[in-house]
Amino acid sequence: MSAEPISPMAAAIAEIKDLLLARYPEATFDIEPGEDPDGTWMTVTVDVEDTDEVFDVIVERNLAMQVEEEIPLYVIVVRPIERIMADIRTSDPVWARPLPPMG
């Protein structure tokens, strides 16, 4: 008896999860169909100050999936609402800090 073949989308989702969980074991995932663009949307929740650092872990691989393999998997990284609310209550919230210089 052989195992059922895994779809390219299921394999892509598993690969992105594995990459993120290796670095952020506390990450949680919400996966659902989405529009604009059409595809599968993965929302990753991680308790970090800078979500760009999390996205950097998978951005190149995710882009290759989208462009080269034509797998429409889109990843969004967010912080937990509790972290956002705690940040709003501080005297120096992340969203009010100046952006670093470009270049």
In the 3-class helix/strand/coil scheme, how is 17-47 assigned residue by residue? Answer: HHHHHHHCCCCEEEEEEECCCCEEEEEEECC
**pLDDT at res. 87:** 77
Average pLDDT score over residue span 69-92 = 88
Q: Which domains does the chain have, with CATH numbers?
A: 8-94 (3.30.300)
DSSP-derived secondary structure letter, 1: -
| Per-residue pLDDT tens digits for 11-25 | 999 999 999 999 999
**pLDDT at res. 97:** 74
Q: Provide the 3-class DSSP secondary structure of residue 89.
A: helix
Look at residue 1 and tell me whether its pLDDT is greater than 60: no
Residue 5 pLDDT level (bands cut at 50, 70, 90): confident
| Per-residue pLDDT tens digits for 15-67 | 999 999 999 999 999 999 988 889 999 999 999 988 999 999 999 999 999 99
Look at residue 2 and tell me whether its pLDDT is greater than 80: no
Strand pairing class (28-34; 39-45)? antiparallel
Greatest C-alpha distance within the chain: 61
